[in-house]
A and B are shown apart, each in its own frame.
Chain A
Amino acid sequence: MPAAGVVLIIAVVLIVLALVYFVVSTIVSLMRITSGLDEAIAAVTEIAEKTAPVEAVVKDINRNLDAGVDLLEGLLVKKAGLVDAMGLVEGLYPGAAAAGLRNFPDSTEVEPPRIAEVYTKGTLTLARLGREAPIAAASPSGPVLRNVEGGSLEARLLYPENRQSRPERLPRSPVVGTGAPVQYPPSEQRGGTTPGEAEVRDKGPWAETAAEGIVPAELGGSDAPREMLADDRELGSEALGETTGSDEPATEAGIDPAAGDEADATTDRGPARPDGEEPDLKDAAAPPRQVDQ
């Protein structure tokens, strides 16, 4: 075989080898692509199946929401009027009035009143609820609902009078105890408050007696000097009590803390009775009658 024939054969073999390598590599690559596409197609099919009912559901949701919006817009405009409705919308959501109401194209041309700045909260509701209410009635001084200062008070006056209009006319709360601005002697402190001149006039002479004390000090009342009081220890200051004249808490100083929760006034506190004397029981409660038992 000539040398040229040998070279020819070698060249053909090289070409065939190149063809085999590249074609086989291409086949392997295409097989991988096919596998990947199968996976992608399966996932896309799943997506299509899952999203199939979405359109109908979303349309139904939108239809219901549209009905709700129509209802609320219609109700608002029907009850408040287009102008006030836009004022309410603007008051709740500043800037929203510019967008207008969907079912009322004219609403974009309305200049919304400053309802949120003029009306007290609830005043408009009261006005709408009761046409006969004073706040909705014609007034010589103009529509009170538009009155910034008068609108709130007129609305509150619909309710029973209390403190809302004249708090300055109510009496101040009384101050009692050692910090009270006026201190009374013990003889005037028993049996409630000491009647004033007006109360004495209203109730009669007996109230005047109470003002002077049931037993004045000069007649031997409890705040009389010690030498004027009877020699009866049971009626001493320990039994009747007296003004301590001190701001210190009575509980710490007056009760023996050693007794604790078991403290008993008859054993841990009370007047010291002389030995051999019987207790005076004339004020003790009488037992029930036999017919009542």
Chain B
Amino acid sequence: MILWWIGDVLLIAVVLPVVVYLLKGVLDAARGIEPSVTRIAQAATAGSKDLDAVPLLLTTQEHVKTTVEVVAGYGGSLDVIIDDAE
């Protein structure tokens, strides 16, 4: 009978607190991740929306190409009408 009582005391005084402590730690860690994940999702969504202007790079690419062509034509003309330095 004394062994039964000893087992009860150990179960209540040692095992239960340890179980509660460990499980609470796991729960706290899980709950700590939640806001971080939420912020990551919000940042990724905002970043994706910011990149909606990326297709405009194609327009920029065309404009740069056209501008360089005009500069090349202008430079070629100058090369013809202006004497070289040496």
Check A19–B40 contact: CB distance below 8 A: no
Q: Which residues of B contact A37 (CB under 8 A)?
A: 37, 40-41
Query: Interface range on chain A: under 10, 10 to 19, 20 to 34, or 35 or more?
Result: 35 or more
- 1/0 per residue A22-63: CB within 8 Å of B? 110110011011001101101110110011011001101100
Whether A137 is near chain B, meaning CB under 8 Å from some CB there, is no
- A18-B20, A29-B31 known; A11 vs B8 contact (CB < 8 Å): yes
Q: Distance in Å from the Cβ of A53 to the closest Cβ of chain B?
A: 8
- 1/0 per residue B53-79: CB within 8 Å of A? 010011011001101100110010011
Question: Complex formed: what's the CA distance from A65 to B20 in Å?
Answer: 66
Q: Which residues of A contact B68 (CB under 8 A)?
A: 64-65, 67-68, 71
- 1/0 per residue B1-13: CB within 8 Å of A? 1001101100110
Q: Which residues of A contact B11 (CB under 8 A)?
A: 8, 11-12, 15
Known contacts A64-B65, A71-B75, A75-B75, then 7 further A-B pairs from the complex at CB < 8 Å, ordered by chain A residue = A21-B23, A29-B33, A32-B34, A51-B51, A57-B61, A58-B57, A65-B68
Whether A7 is near chain B, meaning CB under 8 Å from some CB there, is yes
Whether A131 is near chain B, meaning CB under 8 Å from some CB there, is yes
Q: Which residues of B contact A79 (CB under 8 A)?
A: 78-79, 82-85
Q: Which residues of B contact A157 (CB under 8 A)?
A: none
Question: Complex formed: what's the CA distance from A43 to B37 in Å?
Answer: 13
- A30-B30, A33-B34 known; A75 vs B79 contact (CB < 8 Å): yes
